[in-house]
Amino acid sequence: MKTNFYKNPSKGAVVLGLFFLMTIIATSFQSCADLDPDPLEFNLPPESFGSLEEMDKGIIGVYRRVTQSARMTTFYAPAWGGDDMTTHRALNKADFREFDQRAVLSSNSRLLTNWNAIYSSLSTINGVLERSEGLIDNPAVDQTLLLQYRGEAYFLRGILFYQLARVHGRIPLTLTQFPPPDISRGTLEEVYSQIEADLLEAEATLPDIYPNVEAGAPRPNSGSARALLARLYMDWGGYPIKDASKYTLAASSAKTVMENASSHGFGLMDDVGDLWKVENRFNQESLFTLVYCTTAEGCPNNSIANRKFARLGLPADLGGWNETFAEIKFFQDFPEGHRKDVTYRTDLDWEGFNAQKSPVFAKVTGPIGDLNAGSFETPRNDFFMRYASILLIYAEASGLSGNVTDESWEALNKIRRRAAGLPYGTPDPSVDVTSGVIEDLAFEERKWEFAGEYIRWFDLVRREKVKEALSVRDIPDAPIPEHNPIIGSLETTNYLAPIPADAVAKNPNLAN
Amino acid sequence: MFFRSTFFLGLLLLFTSFHEANAQQKISGTVVDEAGMSVPGANVIVQGTTTGTVTDFDGNFSLNASSGDVLVVSYVGYLNQSVTVGNATSITITLKEDAAQLDEVVVIGYGTAKKSDLTGAVAQVTAKSFEDQPLVRVESALQGRASGVTVAGSGAPGKGIKIRVRGVNSMTGNNDPLVVVDGVFGGDLRTINPNNIASMEVLKDASALAIYGSRGSNGVILITTKKGSGKAKVSIDQFLTISNVNRRISSLSSSQFARQENAEFIANPVNDPADAPYSDARIAELEANPLKYQDLMFQTGYTNNTQISVSGSSDDKLRYFLSGNYMDQKGTQITSNYKRYSFRSNLSKEFNDKFSVAANVTASREITKNDQDAFGTADGSSILRAITWDPTAPVRDENGEYILRSPREVANNNYNPIRRLELSDHQVTSDRLNITLNGKYNITKNFSYTLIGSVSTINGITESMRVEGDYDLIGFNNINFRNFRSTSHQVSNILNWNKAFDKHNIDITGVYEFQGNRTINNNYNTTDQNVYGFYHTDNGTTENFDNNGSQTAIESFLARAQYNYNGIYYLTASIRQDESSRFPEDNRTGYFPSGAIAVNLAKFEFIENSPLSILKFRAGYGEVGNQSINALAAFSLNNQGGFWSPNGGGTILSGEEQTTRGNSNLTWETTKQTNIGLDFGFLNGRISGSIDFFNKDTENLLIQRLVPGSTSITEFVNAGEVNNKGVDFSLSADIIQKSDFNWNANFNLSTLKNEVTSLYEGLDFITGNVNSIGGQGIKLDVLKVGEPIGTFWGYKALGTWKSTDDIPVDSDGAPVAQPGDERFDLDPDNNNERKLQTIGSGLPTLTWGFNNTFTYKNWDLNIFLNGAHGFDVYNLVRGTLRTNGGNRSYLATDANSRWTPENETDIPKAGSANLLNTSRWVEKGDFIRLSNLKVGYTFSEDAIKGIQNLQLYASGQNVFLITDYSGYDPEVSSQVRTNNGAASNADSGAGIDIGAYPNPVSFTLGLKVTF
């Protein structure tokens, strides 16, 4: 085809201009593929800590992780096996019902979620321990502070192993950030020994009292570690290992804590009902506190709010989530008095609920008017262990180790007095006991003292009293029968929960 | 045969030289278009000479020529027309518009090819095949029209539609094909006005895809937008659609449910029948005026689509296509809405035969309101909530106030689903601008340089206030503002050299290209603001904000050579080198080679004499890559923003924790694909088709997994293999070709077998990440060796345990179930627990489409059917109707058929636990759909003065659906989520129905006018 190219001068200029532009694009923009990411835009973890400041961030990361792992009822789901608590008969509470009805499957998703959450925390803890090894004996680093930080890590690792060992018995003991994928479960002896070793290491390196923290050991002290040891030995003496020699250690450990209580800042609250008020979420009775907060307290968001309380303990009639209910017979058997009034919401007509006719725990919903009933995110703290437990462990272990003294009875009586609304330090013949089988009396006292605190089930296990308690869970011919009948075995063979099927699928060694 | 063609060529040359010798004379004539209008500026040339002229304003020309000369008339946008001069001195030459231009040329990426020259598997969908269907979405145009391409729609307005090319490769990554619009990567089909599309090509096999290298593994959709041609014309396309969801899921009516509740109450001997929850009067009232929550959840939707375009070309070869589109779609779920405004300007100018420039500018705005998935779906979608809502509780009480919860705490445990949608305002606005410049310079006749430069930007904002619960409670509303920005650039330099040496045709393309993208997110949210709307929400008590940005880049070289010998033997080879910022430096370079051959058998003598007019054999092999991981996948990362407060709020300490582990060996995922195909045609192409067999092995899959042994730290690894194999078949026929009656039919069919062939660490299966509903951590999917991606995971249901059954016991001797309980396949190796196993697959193994166009005089009729087969749907809606998943009451109509000691049916007894993750809720999803039925009338050209073309039509979409599926629609899948609330891989969660937004039945009236 024939055309005149530059007939029109202005057109020629346009062509030339465009061609020039194209040439500029073609030549000058030809190397702007930037293939290396800018490291300032993301957060690379250090291979090892260069300073205590870096380690401090790591330790805070550990606390956050542990706090998050424990903030939902999932952390305590196995405790629904106790005769103190139950859940909604239908709805999405199937996982809790499996524990409540003693038919726990390896597919139980709370079991898996909790398993994963705890091993994630352990991985974070081990990462901090590994990364801080390079700081040991470094003259530029304050070794006392370093050991204190490491002591916190050991403490948290010990209590997490303990939390899981109570549920599953033999568990894999992961001691590195990236554990071997084919790790096997330790023997029961290995598991309990590891927990003991971690807590002993923590006790040796933690201060008597952690500086600049609130009451209740939100960062553990050496007394917290010893208290947990007392509890560990108590379990060690019972099912499944049943090494009765440990009861002596339990008693002596409890005694150590009692004797040094003031140096650790530990003691009983005067009124047991005050424990469950938000204003007392930091208190001397807590031997180790998992701290939560909401935006109302000044936290930036609700990601570490406690999701176990308030709304979760109420029926849908009251805007609740129908998750944590009290069992009827336990409620009715509960000795009348001050402690019952602060344990349950006796103001509510539970028999008139539509959602489910179950009594309500005040320990879960909070005292009347204390927590926003419509909230599932609360600032309530978890008292991982209470001083009351140390006293009752002392009483029970004294009996089980055959070394009952006046102090043993006094320890038990302090709790009984307080339960009746009396000053715990003043002997009162109306409630005090000084004779009988102290280990059984202390065990019975724990039943009421710790009702609804996710403890009863584990007490039943260690003393092998599951069948005794759960076979009489229903009141015969009651107008309102218990909602989730027992369908599984109550024998010891059904005490421990299976390893989650999903974990076994990933690591078949866990099947053995 | 070669001898013969050479002989003819020689003869032709001889004739031309004879003609040269003839005497010349003055010839004059007129060039007109098909409408008889004169065409000014057309080139008229005497073939084989430099003699020529240009028509004047009235289309007239005159020149000197001999009677044997051939005049060639050309004009942009029209087919070249050749006329032998003969003895006439005055000639009228009619130019035909080049509508077929794109039918013959196939876009293959960085160039075009004649369809007959293709060596790879490319499916082409031209505007012609979908202009009969009123479309608001480009994806719908692909559905059932391109073999090997599966499209799973959604009824939700403005919702992403899933497109898969030849199956799915990636187990945890994204399987969306790459969309390339006019040579520019990364288009979003949703924002493109279907009316602007001239053609779409889907590159399917690796030999065609390898030129897209690292982004080719999921297939590539090439979109070519329209260009103007010919006289200026203005087209208006307007349609109005009315849509309805007509199906209803059967459940107990209000009065049936009330009676059932009363019966349950009275059955308990401790209750006094006088206290029964529903009085006779109330039941009578419910009988007369039943509450139908499905009716309340759905509404009549309408779509108003207006499009205007102006197009044409001027004398000096400026082609223009300007188009504006406004679409307003009111969804069939209450309060859902989608609006789209889009504008496109395609300008191109040929300055001379060496240099041309094109500029395409597009801008669009989309506004989506109350998208179903923007709301919490932990207990299923709003639709599922409505289906299982207390049918005796009205939306509002006698005072006109919303009823928040079921007053008797029965049926669904959540808040009123109608109120939720009516009070919430979740709006996402997304603005896009793309500017693409394309310059081409022909250095010589055979050698050209093309430069494509493109910049695009997306600005999106989310303004959201979602209301869920009681104003007195915590968490009753959630306010969110999100700002999203993405900017991308692309520069492609394309050199092309092609030449024919005798019978050897060579075409070589070389490309240097780089692209970059930066995205930035700013997010703010707060909760529990007791205000009327989003704009009243200032200073919330909880304030969270987070910002993140990421940057990626890729730099590439590409070479492709195409050779054919005399149109008989074809050979294509290509190699692309990509360097991606997503991989560590040592592994970031990937090479993606391909090769293909084709033999045009029709040129052989034994075929030439048969009814076969087309017969071409193709075979190709290639390797393509995938880099669909996030920008920093190769690095170890700490989380950010983690805090802890030792004193419960006063002191905020920030902590860090490792969340991902880096992988310095991370590299490309590679798909190796072999394709063998055959193109055939009979009766001069009246019947034509092709069949392709493919086998794809994807290796070194980019998988995000937990570090083995870890329960929280993730890493990206190259592990695992997936195989896809199948057959794509397409057949097109002009069945009837009469002067006033035509029937054209297109049929295509694709089969697919997808299989995970290996995982990592010797694992046989990995539990997936798709969460079930009702707050349960149960996963609904699995990746299992030997099974397809998207395999359902759950228990195998076997009816009920009968009183005569010997019910197995657990290790403690307790029976695992009671008579009347649901019976499952048990695992004797695991304490007789229910055995988790594969119970179905959501991935269709056969899809097809059948498109028919009939024209009779001025009438036309389009019938488009499509179907998908060989897949299952995990119908959690049906499960939830029978309690669980947030529902407390048995609402299914089979309540009276439940197991009793007297009547031992296979439906579990009342009160027995109902599980959602069982094969009981897995149904066949096979369906056949009449997607489009359209009748149109086109007025004769001269019927109305001044109007070139006028068409009126009426159309029905989704006119009928044949399926055994008991839910609304087996084709739509719910968006399902993982543990942390993120949307899961759409293919792992394929076929899961937790109340998915169904495709509505629609009726459309439309009008197309061209002036």
For position B398, what pLDDT does the model report? Answer: 92
Please report, to the nearest 10 degrees, the dihedral formed by the alpha carbons of residues A73, A77, A83, A87 taken in order.
60
The contacts found for A42-45 with CB under 8 angstroms, 24 or more apart, are: A42/B632, A42/B635, A42/B637, A43/B637, A43/B638, A43/B639, A43/B640, A43/B656, A44/B635, A44/B636, A44/B637, A44/B638, A45/B636, A45/B637, A45/B638, A45/B656, A45/B658
Does B20 fall in a domain?
A: yes
A124:B657 CB<8 A: yes
For position B76, what pLDDT does the model report? Answer: 65
Residue A57: closest CA among chain B residues belongs to which residue?
B655
Of A106, A237, A228, the closest CA to residue A167 belongs to A106
B886:A91 CB<8 A: yes
Provide, as residue numbers in chain B, all residues whose Cβ is less than 8 Å from the Cβ of A379: 648-649
What's the predicted TM-score (pTM) here?
A: 0.86
Provide, as residue numbers in chain A, all residues whose Cβ is less than 8 Å from the Cβ of B711: 115-117, 119-120, 123
One domain, residues B57 and B150: no
CATH topology assigned to domain A51-80+105-204+495-512: 1.25.40
Does B205 fall in a domain?
A: yes
List, for residues B786-827, the tens digit of each pLDDT value.
Answer: 999 989 999 999 999 999 999 999 888 888 899 999 999 999
List the domain range (segments joined by +) for residue B217.
101-228
One domain, residues B10 and B118: no
In this prediction, residues A408-417 reach a mean pLDDT of 97
Does B128 fall in a domain?
A: yes
> Rounded to a whole number, what is the largest CA-CA distance in chain A?
123
B352:A5 CB<8 A: yes
Picking from A22, A98, A129 by the largest number of B CB atoms within 10 A of its own CB, the best residue to mutate is A22
Residue B654 touches chain A, beta carbons under 8 Å:
yes
Provide, as residue numbers in chain B, all residues whose Cβ is less than 8 Å from the Cβ of A65: 657
Which single residue is written with the structure tokens 């798709």?
Answer: B770
A35:B774 CB<8 A: no
B579:A35 CB<8 A: yes
Half-sphere exposure in the Cβ direction for A103 (13 Å, CA): 19
Q: How far is CA B167 from CA B148, B151, B793, in A?
A: 8, 11, 20
> For A291, which of B270, B648, B810 is closest by C-beta distance?
B648
One domain, residues B108 and B61: no
Main-chain dihedrals φ then ψ at residue A298, nearest 5 degrees: 110, 5
Residue partners of A332: CB distance under 8 A and separation at least 6: A475
User: Rounded to a whole number, what is the distance in Å from the CA of A308 to chain B's nearest CA?
Assistant: 14
B644:A64 CB<8 A: yes
Tell me how many residue pairs between chain A and chain B have CB atoms under 8 A apart: 315
User: Rounded to a whole number, what is the distance in Å from the CA of B927 to chain A's nearest CA?
Assistant: 33
User: Which pair of structure tokens corresponds to residue B628?
Assistant: 């669909």
In this prediction, residues A276-305 reach a mean pLDDT of 92
Among B172, B197, B228, residue at a domain's last position = B228
Distance CA(B883)–CA(A94), nearest Å, equals 12
For position A408, what pLDDT does the model report? Answer: 97
For position B983, what pLDDT does the model report? Answer: 67
Distance CA(B974)–CA(B968), nearest Å, equals 12
Of A505, A492, A455, the closest CA to residue A102 belongs to A492
Of B894, B996, B844, the closest CA to residue B150 belongs to B844
Distance CA(B797)–CA(B800), nearest Å, equals 8
B1006: amino acid identity, one letter: G
For position B97, what pLDDT does the model report? Answer: 66
Among B228, B251, B271, residue at a domain's last position = B228
CA angle centred on A248, ends A243 and A253, rounded to 5°: 115
User: Rounded to a whole number, what is the distance in Å from the CA of B433 to chain A's nearest CA?
Assistant: 20
Distance CA(B480)–CA(B728), nearest Å, equals 46
User: Rounded to a whole number, what is the distance in Å from the CA of A373 to chain B's nearest CA?
Assistant: 7
Q: Average per-residue pLDDT in chain A?
A: 91
User: Rounded to a whole number, what is the distance in Å from the CA of B709 to chain A's nearest CA?
Assistant: 4
Provide, as residue numbers in chain B, all residues whose Cβ is less than 8 Å from the Cβ of A110: 777
In this prediction, residues A287-302 reach a mean pLDDT of 90
A282:B647 CB<8 A: yes
Provide, as residue numbers in chain A, all residues whose Cβ is less than 8 Å from the Cβ of B885: 92
The CATH number of residue B52's host domain is: 2.60.40.1120
Distance CA(B871)–CA(B846), nearest Å, equals 9
One domain, residues B130 and B45: no
Does B166 fall in a domain?
A: yes
* Chain B stretch 30-49, residues whose beta carbon is closer than 8 A to a beta carbon of chain A: 43, 45
Picking from A1, A309, A381, A495 by the largest number of B CB atoms within 10 A of its own CB, the best residue to mutate is A1
Q: What is the mean pLDDT of each run of 10 residues along chain B (1011 residues)?
A: 39 39 71 73 79 79 82 76 78 70 70 83 83 79 83 79 85 85 85 87 86 85 88 90 94 95 85 89 96 96 93 87 94 94 93 90 94 86 94 94 90 92 94 93 91 94 89 79 94 92 92 92 86 74 80 92 91 93 91 93 79 89 89 85 87 90 92 94 86 94 88 90 95 88 92 93 85 78 92 95 93 88 93 92 93 90 93 94 88 93 94 89 96 89 79 92 94 76 74 91 92 84
User: Rounded to a whole number, what is the distance in Å from the CA of B965 to chain A's nearest CA?
Assistant: 26
In this prediction, residues A138-154 reach a mean pLDDT of 95
Provide, as residue numbers in chain A, all residues whose Cβ is less than 8 Å from the Cβ of B883: 90
One domain, residues B125 and B210: yes
User: Rounded to a whole number, what is the distance in Å from the CA of B839 to chain A's nearest CA?
Assistant: 17
One domain, residues B123 and B88: no
Task: Decide which of A395 and B162 is more confident.
Answer: A395
The CATH number of residue B133's host domain is: 2.170.130.10
Question: Is B530 in a helix, a strand, or coil?
Answer: coil
Specify the pairing of strand B765-767 against strand B781-784: antiparallel
Distance CA(B580)–CA(A37), nearest Å, equals 11
The enclosing H or E element of B29 equals: strand B24-33
User: Rounded to a whole number, what is the distance in Å from the CA of A337 to chain B's nearest CA?
Assistant: 30
Does B164 fall in a domain?
A: yes
One domain, residues B113 and B219: yes
Provide, as residue numbers in chain A, all residues whose Cβ is less than 8 Å from the Cβ of B766: 505-506
Residue B444 touches chain A, beta carbons under 8 Å:
no
* Chain B stretch 560-579, residues whose beta carbon is closer than 8 A to a beta carbon of chain A: 579
Residue B767 touches chain A, beta carbons under 8 Å:
yes
Indicate if the alpha-carbon torsion angle A236, A237, A243, A245 is positive or negative: positive
For position B943, what pLDDT does the model report? Answer: 74
CA-based radius of gyration for chain A: 29
Question: Is B366 in a helix, a strand, or coil?
Answer: strand
Q: How far is CA A488 from CA A100, A431, B810, in A?
A: 10, 38, 9
For position A107, what pLDDT does the model report? Answer: 86
One domain, residues B125 and B82: no
User: Rounded to a whole number, what is the distance in Å from the CA of A402 to chain B's nearest CA?
Assistant: 34
Provide, as residue numbers in chain A, all residues whose Cβ is less than 8 Å from the Cβ of B813: 489
Does B822 fall in a domain?
A: no
Residue A18: closest CA among chain B residues belongs to which residue?
B357
Does B857 fall in a domain?
A: no
For position B755, what pLDDT does the model report? Answer: 95
One domain, residues B130 and B50: no
Measured from the Cβ of residue A54, the count of other Cβ atoms closer than 10 Å reads 16
CB B691 within 8 A of CB B729: yes
One domain, residues B9 and B67: yes
Residue A13: closest CA among chain B residues belongs to which residue?
B351
User: What letters, b where the CB count within 10 A reaches 16 and e where it falls short, cover B517-548?
Assistant: bbbeeeebbbbbbeeeebeebeebebebeeee
Distance CA(B195)–CA(B225), nearest Å, equals 9
For position A433, what pLDDT does the model report? Answer: 96
A32:B516 CB<8 A: yes
Could you tell me the pLDDT band of residue A45, with boundaries at 50, 70 and 90?
Answer: confident
For position A172, what pLDDT does the model report? Answer: 97
One domain, residues B53 and B106: no
For chain B, what is the domain count?
A: 2
* Structural domain spans, chain A: 51-80+105-204+495-512
List, for residues A91-120, the tens digit of each pLDDT value.
Answer: 778 899 999 999 999 989 899 999 999 999
Provide, as residue numbers in chain A, all residues whose Cβ is less than 8 Å from the Cβ of B588: 35
B647:A59 CB<8 A: no
Residue A96: closest CA among chain B residues belongs to which residue?
B776
> For B649, which of A14, A299, A505 is closest by C-beta distance?
A299
Residue B710 touches chain A, beta carbons under 8 Å:
yes
Main-chain dihedrals φ then ψ at residue B704, nearest 5 degrees: -95, 120
One domain, residues B74 and B114: no
> For B644, which of A94, A106, A304 is closest by C-beta distance?
A304
A25:B491 CB<8 A: yes
DSSP B249-287: -----HHHHHHHHHHHHHHSTTS-GGG-SS-HHHHHHHH
> For A180, which of B709, B813, B818 is closest by C-beta distance?
B709
Does B125 fall in a domain?
A: yes
